A and B are shown apart, each in its own frame.
Chain A
Amino acid sequence: MKVGVITFPGSNCDYDCYKAAQEVLEGETIFLWHKEHDLRGVDAVFLPGGFSYGDYLRAGAIAQLSPIMNEVRQFAAAGGPVIGICNGFQILCEAGMLPGALIRNRSLRFISRPVHIRVEQSRPPFTSEYGAGRVLRVPIAHGEGCYIADEPVLDALEAEGRVLFRYCTPDGEVTEAANPNGSARNIAGIVNEAGNVLGMMPHPERAVEPLLGSADGAPLFESLGAHLTSMMIYK
């Protein structure tokens, strides 16, 4: 299997994503340059965190116009797994590949700290290796991570089981106090209708080694790996 990490100008978690994928997954991990028109045969795509184009207009607004995003759209439409983390989530929303938007944190300040999130759905391709309800400790680091969408959109996300992660207490309770940025319904991560495009604000790639405080992000990569392996068997 082969996964690709896209580097936009201003991406700064591309290397972290690359290392995490390399460490957890078997197979090859490559960097993809935003000006390319070819995903070079990857089986999954990561849109990493950072400040693409400085986030100067609106987080993700310019990166979604990068040449490679055309290929990412086609790849996703064909069912390929796409994972946007932090700035990557913002880009996916700006690109219309995920509903809703990410606005400034309720506190109007950048927030960097470990938070707890609850796995709401355990299923391929991203969360099969977690049990539903499992509480993860993962860092967040963002200024614009408050997820918003219209009520009907939120209702649909809930009804269709597309909310994958929610901010919670260490015990797994979804409370207002456990919501670091004011996201609607404590939403930390969602998928598209087909379930193959994931956007999340917390950084699983920063939580794959106990040395750095948590390895709770590793099963996300393992889930992806298991999914890609099963796909290859069917191929």
Chain B
Amino acid sequence: MPAAGQLLVQPRPGDPEVTATLVEDHGLSEVEYAKILEIMGRVPTFTELGIFSAMWSEHCGYKNSKPLLRTLPTRAPWVLQGPGENAGVIDVGDGLAVAFKIESHNHPSAVEPYQGAATGVGGILRDVFTMGARPIAVLNSLRFGELDGADGARVRYLFAGVVKGIGDYGNCVGIPTVGGEVYFDAAYEGNPLVNAMAIGLLKKEELITAAASGVGNPIMAVGSKTGRDGIHGATFASAELTAESEAKRPMVQVGDPFTEKLLLEASLELIRSGHIVGIQDMGAAGLVSSSTEMAARGGTGVDIEITLVPVRERGMTPYEILLSETQERMLVVAKEGREEDVRDILGRWDLDAETIGYVTDTGRYVVRENGAVVADIPGEPLVDECPTYTREGRENPEITKLREWTPSALAPRHEERDPTWTLRRLLDSPSIASKRWVYEQYDTTVRTNTVVGPGSDAAVVRLRGTRKAIAASVDANGRYVYLNPFAGGAIAVAESARNLVCSGARPLAVTDNLNFGNPLKPEVYHQLSEAVRGIGEACRRLETPVTGGNVSLYNENPRGAIYPTPTIGMVGLIDDLEHITTAAFKEDGDAIVLLGANSAELGGSEYLKAIHGLVAGDAPALDLDAESALQGALLEAIRAGLVQSAHDCAEGGLAVALAESAIGADEARGVEASLDDELPLNALLFGEAQSRVVVSCRPGDLTTLLERMRAAGVPAAEIGRVGERGGRVSIATREGTVDAPAAELAAIYFGAIPRRMDGTPEAVDAMLRSEIDRR
């Protein structure tokens, strides 16, 4: 006899017997299975096991990260919705709010780059529009192996496929891809990172959450019919990639951006119609996670008749229907008696909606097949009692040793006597070089709000009907985090905020995507916990709370873990369109001012890697007080109209920052700069000391600008003048001078990626052919 409140559940004919092996195959540990037995009070059925497996996967259950995530700051007066919903939401004034979230699709993209990346964009867009927000921009953060390394052909195949997947999806739905970042490093070979961030705009009163409330309200499945694609995608994403991962390619879902566009329009109409109480994407772990999470938030139960779910193939079992990750589906909780109104709205967009169950007051998650109960699980423990772990963390001694490396151990290459050679090499490094090859494949201007697209420090999208604009950036330097997880985590936040300030925005809030290796390894858990601590400290100091995000662990392949890469997506507000600032120098004769102090640091720099093949030293030092002072003073100066251009000094240091401001825009300009610091040539030009920004101002504003910086305690020095179009980039130091025609540097900077990608179409073709042959 079942216990009180429990329904009679009988094993379904044809389902496998639940054995220890089957439990293990579902990625559940002995401890976790014991917990399941305790919750259920009996052996679960195959269907129930599948449900637990999905909900308690790392992807849905955050079992190894939850205790760490709880330490992050999440509140501020402008935060309307923090973590726990489909997306975070912040107040931007004028009755408007901005919803935003980042999510990874790393594992799928490693085996099927095009669909993996495309569906990543689809999922994150749904997370935003289910909050009632119209998506206004997407950004992405990508990591690949070396384009011309030993595995170059495969890397180029993955890179080209991911970029095309992101482009084709976002372009078709009609959301501009306005910014992002791409880095190339052998550490990501075989395990690329694909993080997509979406930003949406809504009226404050239209904010809707994904809760299943109101006993008796119908639950409706909307959008694409459910198929067998993507079953156990969430579990797949919660394991290491192995040589056999390719066989899991069928677990990768297939995207249909056209249906997404219809869903987007229909969902926004539905939300405004008042006919529904909640809506959620059927994303990772499909129907299971959407329905259980909505019930948990509503403090209710659900009762679903699985045979009512529209399917596209016959003979699907409850297990398959529940766990399918078919894309472009939504779960809607309608108001009682409004099913027809909901269908009318969807029908206008040629979409179907079927009532598949009802909200109950039992608190139980019940699934029936033709009336027979195939799953009956207490809902709250299913969602909230996933065991969480605080693992043992211990730094890998090799990394401790790497950190002890100092620049004095470095023997300069003879070519470096001419620093122009070094600058050329760095501008040709794909991680530094222009990403135009990438973003020209993205529609950046659709919706006609993009004021600053890709290629500057942050993207800027105006808010129609106001004088305001939103700025957004994504940032993470995995190498810094690898060498020093705490500092690296903090730097990712600081740099993201700095990028926003350089564009004229006040940083408001963060969405983070923690991409790490296997947390069961103490050295990986150490990276994770320390990086989160660093992120937390920087977010508190810079007043940018975390409103949500995503955790992607087990980013490993047989050759090892990726660099720990906590991608920080940040959104800021520009109060007035007049404040919008870009990285490019504007006029001949403008004064160039360096804000912040140079240092002798070289640890973790792109210079060390690109010129010396070295990943060593400590991450650059970050003083959060200095950072905060710099950002505050710079923003004030921008608002006062004193700043013509502003560009963060990041990878490649001061020389690359100066060159980028000169050549990064349409027309290459000259620069005449002179640095008199008594520092080694390589550190002065290419070191990556933090909290530095290259700004330019009209000559008449120079004194005021310097005066203001001095008053704010921010180091500031005039280091040169902007030259004319087609001039030379010249940077003099005590030990040597960089000097080259701007046009020549521009050719290197813009040509680095096309040269590697388009120079070898045969190689990519061969790769594609071999991919096809292998199937």
Contacts and interface: CB of A to CB of B under 8 A. Distances in A.
Interface of A: 9-10, 12-13, 15-16, 19-20, 49-51, 53-56, 109-113, 139, 141, 143, 203, 205-206, 209, 211-212
B448 A110 contact: no
A206 B447 CA distance: 8
B441 A109 contact: yes
Interface string B227-263: 0000000000000000000000000000011110110
Given A12-B173, A55-B172, A212 B441 contact: no
Nearest to B264: A12
Given A9-B258, A10-B258, A109-B164, A211 B462 contact: yes
Contact of A212 (B256, B440, B443, B448): B448
A209 B446 CA distance: 14
A48 B188 CA distance: 41
Contact of B448 (A10, A56, A113, A206): A206
Nearest to B349: A9
20 contacts: A9-B258, A9-B350, A10-B172, A12-B172, A12-B447, A13-B174, A19-B448, A51-B171, A51-B172, A51-B261, A54-B172, A54-B256, A54-B257, A110-B443, A111-B440, A111-B441, A112-B442, A112-B444, A141-B171, A212-B450
A110 B174 contact: no
B425 to A, nearest CB: 27
Contacts of A12: 172-174, 261, 446-447
A191 B441 CA distance: 28
Contacts of A10: 172, 258, 261-262
B768 to A, nearest CB: 12
Nearest to B444: A112
Contacts of A9: 258, 261-262, 349-350
Given A110-B171, A110-B441, A141 B577 contact: no
A97 B399 CA distance: 67
Contacts of B443: 110, 112, 141
Interface in B593-651: none
B167 interface: yes
Contacts of B439: 112
B168 interface: yes
A50 B174 contact: yes
A16 B451 CA distance: 15
B445 interface: yes
Most chain-A Cβ atoms within 10 A of its Cβ — which of B257, B446, B449, B451? Answer: B446
A112 B172 contact: no
A154 B259 CA distance: 37
A136 to B, nearest CB: 15
Contacts, number: 83
Contacts of A51: 171-172, 174, 257-258, 261
Interface in B345-360: 349-350
Interface of B: 164, 167-168, 171-174, 256-259, 261-262, 349-350, 439-451, 462, 464, 577
Contacts of A50: 174
A212 B174 CA distance: 17
A50 to B, nearest CB: 6
A212 B446 CA distance: 11
Contact of A16 (B257, B440, B446): B446
Most chain-A Cβ atoms within 10 A of its Cβ — which of B173, B445, B462? Answer: B445
Contact of A211 (B444, B445, B577): B577
Most chain-B Cβ atoms within 10 A of its Cβ — which of A10, A49, A53, A209? Answer: A10
Contacts of B172: 10, 12, 51, 54-55
A110 B261 contact: no
Contacts of A141: 171, 443-446
B708 to A, nearest CB: 27
Contacts of B441: 109-112
A227 B463 CA distance: 32
A214 B271 CA distance: 35
A112 B349 CA distance: 28
A112 B759 CA distance: 21
Contact of A112 (B164, B256, B445, B577): B445
Contacts of B257: 51, 54
Given A9-B349, A54-B259, A141-B446, 7 more contacts: A9-B261, A10-B172, A10-B258, A53-B258, A54-B172, A143-B168, A211-B451
Most chain-A Cβ atoms within 10 A of its Cβ — which of B441, B462, B577? Answer: B441
Contacts of A20: 448
Given A54-B257, A112-B440, A13 B446 contact: yes
A13 B439 CA distance: 19
Contacts of A205: 448
A50 B261 CA distance: 10
A206 B258 contact: no
A15 B464 CA distance: 12
Most chain-A Cβ atoms within 10 A of its Cβ — which of B173, B258, B441, B449? Answer: B258
Counting from the closest, the 8 A-B pairs by CB-CB distance are A12-B174, A54-B258, A141-B443, A51-B172, A16-B448, A112-B443, A139-B445, A110-B441
Contacts of B164: 109-110
Nearest to A7: B265
Nearest to A16: B448
Contacts of B171: 51, 110, 112, 141, 143
